[in-house]
Amino acid sequence: MRNDMHPLIAGLGTTELLIILAVIILLFGAAKLPELARGSGRALRIFKAETKGLMDDDQAPEKTEAQRELEAKQAEIDAKQAEIDAERERLHRNDGA
């Protein structure tokens, strides 16, 4: 029986969450958890930006040529930043090895 004083996350109690956390640590190792969290956060930000962009496309009037150029340049910058982040993580993994 669950204790109503503890908040539930997705219907899971404290014991279930602790078991899930233990399995994650066993699978990935404690050293990989920050990297996993960063990657998940980055993926979530990209997903949110893309879904917002889709909603804006449905509601927004026609964009000017200058706006399209700025968006293309911003996309290039974002892609370069992702490459830099990936290289930094690769180097960080090699330094720790």
- Domain residue ranges in the chain: 30-96
Question: Cβ distance 52 to 59 under 8 Å?
Answer: no
pLDDT, mean of residues 51-74: 79
20-54 tens-digit pLDDT: 888 888 887 878 878 888 888 888 888 888 888 77
Is the pTM for the entire model greater than 0.75?
no
Structure tokens at 83: 């490459």
2 CB-near residues (< 8 Å, 6+ apart): 8, 13
Structure tokens at 69: 């150029």
Instruction: Tell me: pLDDT of 60 over 60.
Output: no
Instruction: Report how far residue 32's alpha carbon sits from residue 55's, in angstroms, rounded to the nearest whole number.
Output: 35
Positive or negative, the Cα torsion across 17, 20, 21, 22?
A: positive
79-95 tens-digit pLDDT: 899 889 888 888 888 87
